[in-house]
Structure 1
């Protein structure tokens, strides 16, 4: 056991928070999976729990493997992975079928293991790394908008356009995260305003195209509009139904909750083990449980900022913020949807909700953050050895 813990390098606080979130996730996933078993008629609760455990084990394998990769390797890997991601997104969008009743233009099925894989999650991580690489490359140069169109904004808009038809919320979040990273990376604000305007025009053109040719993207634009309208005026819709059930679950939880596994609304709330698992957590563990979970996500955010601030390279700083901040941002959006601060978006709760792709891509991002923190720890160790044994270090270098 000591040998395993010794091999875990990087920021120990991040390792601890991620491990605690993963361990806690077994309780609400096991409880909420009864909805899939007794209402939907899909599998058994033990089967869903074992599947969730297997996904987490593979996820931690991803964290361990990725955090051993030197940080600067991600520059080249992002250039190689971006064309692959574009091909996967195009293939996923072109399917136009359904997987277990869901829109398959978001997922592809892995042929060997039979697990569905949401390509947009992988695309988000790769695009943020690619953006961090480009921003670090031009950090000390005068930036011209025309020079950045092909190497930066063309890949960004290609990824977003391929995600947008099937998953507006993911495309919107990714667009905001890219803009945020560019702002922190010193990209001129006047150019960012132009990009925002171009994004709004592109979205408007897509909506008009979808309205003019409803057979191309059936129901997607109508679904977005109905969710936003129901959020603002309280009209009845599927999203409104889910929000109402979520609010009932939250209200019945009170201060300390009804106890583990004693949720009632999990049998009436669709997606209770994924998109709306936070409502089930509050119903079973109360306001204290919900705030405790929020605290751990904020602690994760704090450690991400600490790692980014301590990193000695521009690429390392932007990389940590680029892949780390979206994890916390997605968690806050999931919580905000459950308490009706946001319209229904379909975003899962990282490391808590069931679902393979979300867990794996979150683990991939955490592995990248830990890789950056591992390099930081190695630098500190070198500096400490230099202070304690300067002659030995100098002779070793000679």
Structure 2
């Protein structure tokens, strides 16, 4: 084990939080997987559990490899990968279709390995790194709105426009996180207000066009509107089925929960291993378990803030915040949906929910954060060595 720990760099507490969340995820996923096996997804409980295990193994391998890469290289990677992301999003949008009540235009099939890949999550990470790179590049320059339209906002709106038809929640979160990042990067607030207004106008035009020409493109506008209507309306409809079962699960959990693997609502709650896994966690581990889980996500947030504050470059600070804040924000949204503080969005619980792409892209973001932290550690060690070498007392003692 010692050689492994020697090769692990970066913030140790962040490593610990990520490891605890990943290891804990096996318990609720294995418990909820029994329902998936029973309802006929074509795999047994152990097969689903093993699939989640392999996703996490590959995810931690991604963290390890990425955190070894000097983070300055991610600036060039984001520029090179942005056109690739746009092409993948176009292909995904064109090949997908709505079948059996689900929208498969969020995923792209990889024929060589026979797996599905959700391109929007990959686009999220690449776009945030790109925005961090741009804001770091113009940090000491006078920012004009006209000059920033093509290099900054054009890529952002292209990515959002390709994600929006099939995945409104991801597009909305991405837009919000970009706005937060450019604000933290010193972008003038009056320009941000213009972008917000333009975004709302574009969204309105898209919804009106989709309602007027429903067969023109694959979209889920009706689903968005029904979910918002169900959230604001007290009447119980079919759209409320998931959230009602989630609330029953949470109420059944009480303070201490019914115990690991003893959830009842996992047999009735759709997406119990992904979108609504927090409700299963509360049912089995109670309010105490839910608060402990929130504590780990808040600890993750604190470490992200500390790493960003300690980074020696503007890009390091912004890229840590750019890829770190969305992880915590997504976790809070997932929890808020389970307790009906937010409309149903389809966002997973990072590092806990099953699903390959979600885990891998979260681990990619964590690897980038740890790369920044590892670089800071190297600088601190180098400074300490330089001070020791230049210490006159050490020189005198060596002479004596």
Task: Give me the TM-score of the superposition, normalised by structure 1.
Answer: 0.96
Q: Is the 8 A contact 2:275 2:353 kept in 1?
A: yes
Name the CA distance, whole Å, in 2 between partners of 1:248 and 1:49.
Answer: 25
Q: Give 1:132 deviation, angstroms.
A: 0.2
How is 1:167-316 mapped onto 2 (pairs within 5 angstroms)? 167-217=167-217, 220-316=220-316
How is 1:52-91 mapped onto 2 (pairs within 5 angstroms)? 52-91=52-91
Q: Is the 8 A contact 1:227 1:237 kept in 2?
A: no
Name the CA distance, whole Å, in 2 between partners of 1:266 and 1:383.
Answer: 54
SS of the residue 1:108 aligns to? strand
Q: Is the 8 A contact 1:96 1:103 kept in 2?
A: yes
Structure 1 segments of 4+ aligned residues over 3 angstroms from their partners: 98-102, 235-239
User: Which residue of 2 is the match for residue 317 of structure 1?
Assistant: 317
SS of the residue 1:176 aligns to? helix
User: Which residue of 1 is the match for residue 31 of structure 2?
Assistant: 31
SS of the residue 2:231 aligns to? helix
Q: Is the 8 A contact 2:98 2:218 kept in 1?
A: no
Name the CA distance, whole Å, in 1 between partners of 2:391 and 2:218.
Answer: 71
Deviation larger for 39-48 or 344-353:
39-48
Name the CA distance, whole Å, in 1 between partners of 2:237 and 2:147.
Answer: 46
Name the CA distance, whole Å, in 1 between partners of 2:112 and 2:98.
Answer: 19
Name the CA distance, whole Å, in 2 between partners of 1:188 and 1:136.
Answer: 14
User: Which residue of 1 is the match for residue 343 of structure 2?
Assistant: 343
User: Which residue of 1 is the match for residue 398 of structure 2?
Assistant: none
Residues 105-141 of structure 1 show CA distances to partners (whole Å, capped at 9, x for unaligned) of 1001221222211000000000000000000000001
SS of the residue 1:126 aligns to? helix
Q: Is the 8 A contact 1:266 1:272 kept in 2?
A: yes
SS of the residue 1:389 aligns to? helix
Q: Give 1:240 deviation, angstroms.
A: 1.2
User: Which residue of 2 is the match for residue 154 of structure 1?
Assistant: 154
Name the CA distance, whole Å, in 2 between partners of 1:239 and 1:346.
Answer: 13
Name the CA distance, whole Å, in 2 between partners of 1:235 and 1:354.
Answer: 32
Q: Give 1:206 deviation, angstroms.
A: 0.3
SS of the residue 1:88 aligns to? helix
Q: Is the 8 A contact 2:166 2:219 kept in 1?
A: no
State whether structure 2 residue 135 is matched by structure 1 residue 166. Answer: no
Call closer, same or farther: CA 1:138–1:155 in 2, change over 3 Å: same
SS of the residue 2:42 aligns to? coil
Name the CA distance, whole Å, in 2 between partners of 1:282 and 1:71.
Answer: 38
The number of residues matched between the two structures is 393
Q: Give 1:219 deviation, angstroms.
A: 6.1
Q: Give 1:34 deviation, angstroms.
A: 1.2
SS of the residue 2:105 aligns to? coil
User: Which residue of 2 is the match for residue 387 of structure 1?
Assistant: 387
Name the CA distance, whole Å, in 2 between partners of 1:95 and 1:145.
Answer: 36
Name the CA distance, whole Å, in 2 between partners of 1:353 and 1:327.
Answer: 13
SS of the residue 2:260 aligns to? coil
Q: Give 1:40 deviation, angstroms.
A: 3.5
Call closer, same or farther: CA 1:296–1:359 in 2, change over 3 Å: same
Q: Give 1:64 deviation, angstroms.
A: 0.6
Q: Is the 8 A contact 1:121 1:361 kept in 2?
A: yes
